[in-house]
Structure 1
Amino acid sequence: MSEHRPPFHPQNGSGIGHFRDTLKPSAPRTFLFLFALALVALISVVALLSIRRFIEAAEQRSRAYSLIVTVGMIEASLLRAEAEERGFVSTQSRACLENHERALRQVDESLRSLRHLVADDPRYATRAVAIEAIVHEKKALMEQVVSLRETEGFEAAARGVATGRSLELSSRFHEIIREMEWIGHQDRELFHERVSRFGRRAWALVVIGTPLSIILLGGAFLWLNQETRQRELALRSLQESEERFRSTFEQAAVGVAHVDPEGRFLRVNGKYCEIAGYSSEELRTKRFQDITHPEDLDTDLEFVRQLLAGERTTYSMEKRYIRKDGNPVWVNLTVSLVREPSGGPRYFIAMVEDITPRKKAAEALRAKSEDLGRSNAELEQFAYVASHDLQEPLRTVTSFVQLLGQRYQGALGAEADEFIHFIVEGVDRMKRLINDLLSYSRVRTRGQPHQAVDCEAVLGAALISLTTAIEESGAVVTSDPLPTVWGDDSQIQALLENLIGNALKFRSKETPRVHVSATRKGDLWDFSVRDNGIGIESQYFNRIFLIFQRLHTREEYPGTGIGLAICHKIVENHGGRIWLESKPGEGSVFHFLLPAPRSSATGAVQEPGLTTSPQEGLGQRS
């Protein structure tokens, strides 16, 4: 099998290889090589000069043709103007006058073109000046006739038309045209002569330059072949990159658009069309200003101005588009600017995400929160007013029942005495309920400004208030060292009183033991109140923090069912949360979070910045 060699391989003895073999370091071959180079250079110079002269001759011929055409247009427009002038003289039609004026404007435009064409050729320039003078005089004659028709009537205008001056001017105009045509004829003959001469030179160049061109083209072929392969590889890589970009652009989960500096859409993907409610073709006929909600446009344009001025590299904003169906759509918009290598703006890249569902949900949540806030405020106000207004009649009932019992005890019989006892007991329970309702409503409406609170001192005050209950139950209340927190000292005292009192109330048969402690968790303190009481089943953990919710009868454990609801409200007011750990028969642990005060560099106590959401897990077990 014979060895395959690529074309123009040095070992082939032809092409570039043969050319290299002949270039050995000898004087004759060096001379031939230099001669070939000189010949190629000479041929190139001669060819360049010939081509340039050919182009000049062709341009001269083209200009002569354009001159004749332009002069012909001037003549045609003048004839049309004269015809419309005569029509106006005959009928005084405004349409004829307008057509007359339009034809004169076309004459002026053609004169401007004529001046431009003859600027470099004095042969035509002098004749163009004569043509322009004739045109101005004919225009003056026509304006005079029109004026006579408007002011003196048909007869005067007809006499103006009948003068022979216009015909004289037309005759002179035609003479000038013939002169220009004769000059053009001479130019054409000169053009044909030059073309013939240039053709002979070109033939000589072909005969002489072909062998040299073959040799040179061989080398050029190798270079071009290599260059072509490199370009094909680069093109393939570019096509793959463009395909990846196109796929990413079209399949992006967000809307993407390219927008020119004036705001016109250049390119949009399907998601953008879906969000805006327009097709790709419709958007390319619009600007982003056309579909932006008027209330958001000024802000958007200010950001665009800052991008163009180089004051920022990107911006994001929430705005509204007006869809094709007229409905607004909320989007989160992020825009960056692509610049030219020179630094000028090329186009914007805009990415939009439809946030309408999120906005609607937020608006619905806000409306519900406002409704809930109003309802809670009204409920708290009602509870406060109702409980306050009930105090007076309740005191009256209590006074009269006590007076009745004192005066008629034993006189009305044992059954009547029992009824009086029931009334007094019910009135006492009602008083406790009213007082608890007042306490519950005051938690939110009468809170003090938050400050640093020493929980050791607050616990001491709470235990003093619970002295009677502690002594009667024989309870043992202990505590670890307690921290300073940020809050309302009176509410925190009420919180501890309720939780410790709750532990004393729901005690088991053993000696009640209550322990209060606190652990630091970031910017919060985790308090716990632990007891050895009867415990609670897990299914009731959330229920016990609701107002008026009781798990036992009043005969078993007295109370109004408001105490733990007050605790929940107090912790909520402090931006914390409260929850419970318990098992029946094993006691309970109530946890609640309170914010720790933040110390400055000088040691001063400052208001904390909470890291836990105030609503997170309120009333839930951790």
Structure 2
Amino acid sequence: MTPPSPTGSPMQRVWQRVADWQPDRHSIWTRLAVALVITLLAAWMRVALAPAESGGRFITLSLAAALSALYGGFRVGMFSTVLGMLVINFVLVKPYFSFAFEDPVEAFWLNLWHLVTQFVVVGAIALMQRQNRHLREATALIQQGKQQLEDTFEQGATGMTHSHLNGEWIRINQTYCDMIGYTKAEMLKMHFRDFTHPDDLELDLAHFHRALNDEVPHYAFEKRYIHKLGHFVWAYLTISLVRKPSGEADYVIAVVQDITALKHAEQALRTSGQLLRQAHELAGLASWQADVATRRFTTLSGSHEILGLPQADFSDEELLALTHPDDRPGVMRQWALAVQGKGVYDIEYRLMFGGEWRWFTVRAEFERDAHGRAVRALGVTRDVTERKRSEVEIQRLNTSLEHRIQERTQALKAAYDELESYSYAVAHDLRSPLRIINGFAQALQEDHPALDANSLAHLQRIMAASKKMGELIDGLLTLSQFARGELQRKPVNLSAIATRLLEEFAGTEPQRQVGWQVEPGLHAMADPALVEALMQNLLHNAWKYTARTPDAHIRVYAQESGGLTRFCVSDNGAGFDMARAAKLFQPFQRLHMPHEFGGLGIGLATSLRIVQRHSGDLQASAAPGQGATFCFSLAARTTA
């Protein structure tokens, strides 16, 4: 460890360096070399400064050994001692420059005493250096620990404070200041009461007095601080009271953890739980989990109360005992398949709760381990007893309704058949008198050619009226014909039908100049015969009502409207007033005078019947003198 830099006077710094010197900083050979130089230099000085016969021959070499020990340690110091002894005995002991001794005993004891003395001195120096090194290491460890404690206090993720018993601060870390929003200088001028929520202050002081009275060694609780910006900060506060050796309270240590996010999460969790419970109540659901190994079923969030279940925890045996006997095999089979991963658990069955059998629908999903084995099931149970009762009632009503519909259908069919027979009978019975009237009128005209003009006019009116009556009867039969029979939908080319009909109209009236435009590729799935009659009526109307229009034009086209194809027949003929359009599709109702345009008023009524039989609609738009447009669809509009 690096010793601290020496301070003080130069002499103090020198002694400090000597005290802090560490021999093992250099290699052993470097230290031995330095000891060799110091010892030889000391020996030279001893020889040069005093004669050999003078006393104190070991003093100078003792100093060299001490310096060598200080520099190089115990082994180097002993090396200098032995080397010094050799030099002294060789140079300063008679006979000089030899290792022969006049008094060997004296020389032995003198050298032994010097060796023991130097061993003690060098050992003491080495021991001092060792103790000094240990002291330096301990001091460094203390400094390091102190710094770590300082770092822990200042850089900790939680707020920490030391305060006197009266609440005055001793020290505050930055985290605590950041939590409350004040600077450290501002905090040191404040008391903790200044930013403690008023509702929490009394509880805080009560806990503190309990600790002060030695009732508890420390305490912890949640409290609210008022941030500098005004919002609340939730904190988990831990207070410890530090006492003197005498037992008297000394100061307070507080550790403060910001739990605002945790509180928000708890509130969100409570809100979520409340919403989940409300959702369960509104939906009539109970959520549960099951341990596949132990076969225990436990409802969650108290949702068993929603369904009126007797308890929150069931074993599979208890549930099977409550299950209707007819449903048990299915329940056990479906559960086994779901646990094995061979099917889903989605089943309806009956359970006995509250003294009655109630229907429940149960669904579950399984959590599996790395080997695919089912570990836990999460599911929902819903009471569908009322729905089941409604289904039974609906089924009963449907059966009754079907029976009544069959009865009504049979009665309606009988009435329809009777009406059809009546219509044919009336038509046949009406035709016969009309033929007689028309025949006798013609006979009168032929047998009495000399009748006056008025009489002939009367006969012609009779024949015209009978003819008109016959046409009306035919129209009624035609209208009733299109309202019965089975609809046969097949691909129909409307473009080809329109072109053929317009060519036929042009062939019957070659004197007329009518232009027409038929959009190619108009196709539909419809009854061919009925579509033929529909196009016949609409095109005949267009041809008829353009008779007095110069440069007459008829157009057949299609348009898309809301995903539905509509086919249109448009002309630039006489048109009509839309204020009278309510009568347009009623049988025998006409919007023009008979002398203007012929007809019975049955064509558009027939067209509407045909379109309605195809589940479509027929719409008209027109203006007097500007023509008319009839658009129809042959299928009902579908919604996604």
Q: How does the TM-score come out when normalised to structure 2? A: 0.43
**Richer in helix (by share):** 1
Higher relative contact order (CA 8 A, sep 6+): 1
**Richer in strand (by share):** 2
Q: How does the TM-score come out when normalised to structure 1? A: 0.44
